[in-house]
Amino acid sequence: MTSIVILLPIIVGLILWNDLPQQIATHWGADGKADGFSSRAVAVFIPPLMILGVHWLCVLITCADPGNKGQNEKVLGIVLWISPILSVIMNGLVYVNALGIAVSVSMVTLIFTGILFVVIGNYLPKCKRNYTIGIKVSWTLENEENWNKTHRFAGKVWVAGGLALTAAGFLPEGILMIVLFAALGLLVAAPVLYSFLYHKKQVREGYDACDCTGHDDRDDL
């Protein structure tokens, strides 16, 4: 079903074929202006097929991970549906602009990314430890407590950050991509930093719990 949804834009492109120009904008710069063009055939067929390839690669890698056996179904559902939704939105933007309807690609991208972070953040705390989904750094993969704490923290941060990104979609066109990349850097770095600091806290508490001075409590008996 997800593969069919990914390929739906091809059917739409064939229906609109005679209304689409020979050269279609398929890439936009940070300023929101089109700076890359493709032939009609390439614009209609190649993006959905590329997304389909990436989609199947992600699905196969996710299914091959033994850590995802018994994984939360809603978490796996997000993995399955990100690519189909991306295909519909991305190719929809290409067609709409090709038909002469002015739609801000930067604004839609920012709003879509914000909504995506809200959805993922909502289910991230339910994600079980694995090697393909979630905050996969050595400290979370080696310690389940760190994994759970980090993903609960990341869930809150991503929901808040996603809401902020969605609202930021209505800022002036020229700064939207700057806001997007700055927010992405922050939303990725914050959970990793939290995980590292929690790891250091665990190490310190483990060190303090042992008698590292060589003192033997039996001497007090």
Cα 147 from Cα 145, distance rounded (Å): 5
193-203: per-residue pLDDT in tens? 999 999 999 99
Lowest mean pLDDT among 9-13, 178-182, 217-221: 217-221
pLDDT above 60 for 22: yes
84-105: per-residue pLDDT in tens? 999 999 999 999 999 999 889 9
The answer to whether 176 and 107 are in contact (CB under 8 A) is: yes
DSSP annotation of 124 = G
pTM: 0.85
pLDDT at 39: 96
207 band by pLDDT with thresholds 50, 70 and 90: low
The answer to whether 97 and 25 are in contact (CB under 8 A) is: yes
The answer to whether 55 and 83 are in contact (CB under 8 A) is: yes
**Average pLDDT in the 20-36 region?**
88
pLDDT above 70 for 54: yes
pLDDT above 70 for 186: yes
Tokens of 31: 């300023």
Cα 163 from Cα 146, distance rounded (Å): 26
Q: Comparing C-alpha atoms, which of 32, 52, 168, 170 is closest to residue 93?
A: 32
pLDDT above 50 for 64: yes
Within a 10 A sphere around the Cβ of 216, how many other Cβ atoms? 9
219 band by pLDDT with thresholds 50, 70 and 90: very low
